[in-house]
Amino acid sequence: MLKFIKHNLTSIDGIEIYPIISLVIFFTVFVGMFIWVYKMPKKRTEELSNLPLEDDN
């Protein structure tokens, strides 16, 4: 099955850029989320961590 997919993908011109683009997008989102969480105020972090323990809807 993998051989069938690999053969089809190698016949497409310019396909080698898509894994690079997806890696860059993943890395950018991951780093962006890390920075966002790191800069988040500690009080907001405590509110979010206690959210699952609250009884009201």
The answer to whether residue 50 is domain-embedded is no
Q: Would you state the pLDDT for residue 13?
A: 81
Q: How far apart are CA 44 and CA 49, in angstroms?
A: 9
| E strands, the chain, in order | none
Reported residue count of the chain is: 57
- pLDDT band, very low/low/confident/very high, at 11 (cuts 50, 70, 90): confident
- pLDDT band, very low/low/confident/very high, at 1 (cuts 50, 70, 90): low
Q: Cβ distance 50 to 42 under 8 Å?
A: no
Kindly state the DSSP code that residue 56 receives in the 8-state scheme.
-
The answer to whether residue 1 is domain-embedded is no
- Indicate whether 26 pLDDT > 80: yes
Specify the number of domains making up the chain. Answer: 1
Structural domain boundaries, residue 35:
17-41
The pLDDT tens digits for 40-56 are 999 998 998 888 887 77
The answer to whether residue 57 is domain-embedded is no
Mean pLDDT of 22-35: 97
